[in-house]
Amino acid sequence: MEEKFFEIARSGDKEAFVKLINLYKRKLYVIAKARLDNEEDVKDAIQETLLKSYINIKKVKCGDKFNAWITKILINNCNNILRIKGRTPYSYDELELDKYYVDDNEIISVDESSNLFSLIDLLKEDEKLIILMYYSQGYTASEISSILNINENTVRTKLKRGKEKIRNNYNNEL
């Protein structure tokens, strides 16, 4: 279905573009919220991303690249906002995320009673983004590597370190 919407949107159909974006809106929101500290900046980044992606959708060769392409645009827009305003801490309070799993082998389900957001806040900014992209949004290490323009091994290392920090801090809270 995604591929169908992409092809129709690529030909200039506005309704198909809206349907395509509706498939990605939650992912875009989570990623923007992970980078930015307030809702207005998040909305601005997403709006700018949608505008740029609508104007330039013909540059994407095939539908399976759309996800990484629009995510890269969003991250660049978030980075532009951060450069203009300067970096400030952000809050996860308004995020409505599904369950996170801390480790692939030893699955730890973090429910609402534990303070997952405070555990994630202990991570470095790049680790936070990678953890969210991998576990919440389902991106592979290879996709994250492509989107963030960093080596895939670096992504895997940051995932491992982030998981270890979360696990250690989670165990300390018990």
Confidence class for position 112, pLDDT limits 50, 70, 90: very low
Task: Name the band, by pLDDT with cuts 50, 70 and 90, for residue 115.
Answer: low
Distance (Å, rounded) from C-alpha 95 to C-alpha 97?
A: 6
Q: Alpha-carbon distance 70 to 65, whole Å?
A: 9
Domains 2-85 and 116-173 share a fold: no
pLDDT confidence bin for 98, thresholds 50/70/90? very low
pLDDT surpasses 60 at 111:
no
Q: Count of residues for the chain? A: 174
Q: Which of 50, 71, 58, 54 has the alpha carbon at shortest distance from 10?
A: 58
Q: Which amino acid is at 112?
A: E
The domain locations on the chain are: 2-85, 116-173
CATH code matching the domain that covers 116-173, chosen among 3.20.20.140, 1.10.10.10, 1.10.630.10, 3.40.640.10: 1.10.10.10
pLDDT in tens, 46-88: 999 999 999 999 888 776 678 888 988 998 898 888 888 775 4
Decide if domain 2-85 falls under CATH 1.10.10.10.
no
Residue type, 85: K
**pTM for the model:** 0.63
Amino acid of residue 43: K
Residue corresponding to tokens 């330039």: 56
